[in-house]
C-alpha cells in the first residue's frame, strides 16, 4: 500500500475499520471507485448509500457496481450530500468525501464548501461511536478555498467528542491534495 496516495490510504482505512455489517456512505460517488471498494468490503452485509448530484456520476457508479460488485446491498441517490438526513435515519459507521469535479467529464460541477459543511454537520450527528469520516480535498481546483473552510469548521469541533487529523504532503509545491480523518470518540 502506498500510504502517500490518498485514494489508497482511504481504501486502507475502509479495509481496516469497516465491518461486514457496517452502514457506510460515499458522499461523492463520481466514477464509483470508492463505492465499489466499499461495496466489496461489505461482502453483501451492512449497507452502502452513495450520493452524487450528477446523473452521469450515478450512471457511472451503477454501471461499475453492476459489473464489478456481486452484491445488491446499496442505494445510489442523485441528490446533494447536504440532504443526507432525507435518506438516512440510522446511525452510520463510515463516510467518505472525495471532493472536486467528476473526473473524465466536461462538466464543471464540483463540490462547494457551503454544502460540504452542511453535509458534514449532518454526517457527524449520524456517526456511531468510533465511526470514521474521510475527506480528500483537492487544493488546486479552487486555490484551497473549500479545504480552508473545511479546516476552519473542523478545528472548532470539541476534541472530547471527535479526534480530527489533517494530512498533507509538505514537500510538494503544485497544490497536492489533503486528507482529513475524523473519528467519533464519545
Query: Which listed range, 14-22, 30-38, 155-163, 178-186, lies at the site for ligand SAM (CB under 6 A)?
Result: 30-38
Q: What does DSSP assign to residue 30?
A: T
Phi and psi at residue 107, in whole multiples of 5°? -70, 140
Q: Is 33 in the site for ligand SAM (CB under 6 A)?
A: yes
All residues at 6 or more sequence positions from 177 whose CB lies less than 8 Å from its CB, including other chains: 6, 136, 137, 138, 139
98 lies in the binding site for ligand SAM (CB under 6 A): yes
Identify which range of 86-94, 96-104, 155-163, 167-175 contacts ligand SAM by CB under 6 A.
Answer: 96-104
- Near ligand SAM by CB under 6 A: residue from 80, 131, 135, 137: 80
Asked if 41 touches ligand SAM (CB under 6 A), the answer is no
Question: With binding defined as CB under 6 A, does residue 172 bind ligand SAM?
Answer: no
Strands 92-98 and 178-184 turn out to be unpaired
Stretch that binds ligand SAM, among 99-107, 139-147, 155-163, 172-180 (CB under 6 A): 99-107
Minimum distance from CB of 23 to ligand SAM (Å)?
18
Helix ranges restricted to H, 127-168: 145-155
Q: Taking the alpha carbons of 150, 130, 132, 95 in that order, is the dihedral positive or negative?
A: negative
- According to DSSP, residue 102 is labeled P
**177 contributes a contact to ligand SAM by CB under 6 A:** no
How many C-alpha atoms does 3 have within 13 Å on its Cβ side? Answer: 3
Backbone angles phi, psi at 161, to 5 degrees: -90, -40
Comparison of 39 and 53: residue with beta carbon closer to ligand SAM: 53
Cα–Cα nearest to 110, from 53, 175, 33 = 53
Q: Which of 11, 69, 94, 100 binds ligand SAM (CB under 6 A)?
A: 100
Q: Which residues bind ligand SAM (CB under 6 A)?
A: 28-34, 51-54, 57, 80-82, 98, 100-102, 109-111, 115
Amino acid at each position: 500500500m502506498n500510504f502517500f496516495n490518498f485514494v489508497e490510504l482511504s481504501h486502507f482505512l475502509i479495509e481496516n475499520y469497516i465491518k461486514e455489517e457496517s452502514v457506510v456512505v460515499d458522499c461523492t460517488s463520481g466514477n464509483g471507485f470508492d463505492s465499489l471498494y466499499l461495496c466489496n468490503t461489505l461482502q453483501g452485509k451492512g449497507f452502502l448509500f452513495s450520493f452524487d448530484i450528477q446523473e452521469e456520476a450515478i450512471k457511472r457508479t451503477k454501471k461499475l457496481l453492476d459489473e464489478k460488485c456481486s452484491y445488491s446491498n446499496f442505494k445510489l441517490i442523485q441528490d446533494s450530500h447536504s440532504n443526507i438526513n432525507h435518506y438516512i435515519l440510522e446511525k452510520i459507521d463510515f463516510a467518505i468525501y472525495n471532493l472536486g469535479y467528476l473526473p473524465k467529464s466536461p462538466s464543471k460541477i464540483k463540490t462547494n464548501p457551503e454544502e460540504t459543511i452542511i453535509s458534514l454537520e449532518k454526517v457527524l450527528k449520524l456517526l456511531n461511536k468510533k465511526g470514521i469520516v474521510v475527506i480528500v480535498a483537492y487544493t488546486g481546483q479552487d486555490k484551497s478555498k473549500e479545504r480552508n473552510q473545511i479546516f476552519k469548521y473542523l478545528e472548532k469541533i470539541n476534541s472530547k467528542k471527535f479526534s480530527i487529523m489533517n494530512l498533507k504532503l509538505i514537500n510538494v509545491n503544485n497544490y497536492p491534495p489533503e486528507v482529513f480523518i475524523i473519528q467519533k470518540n464519545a
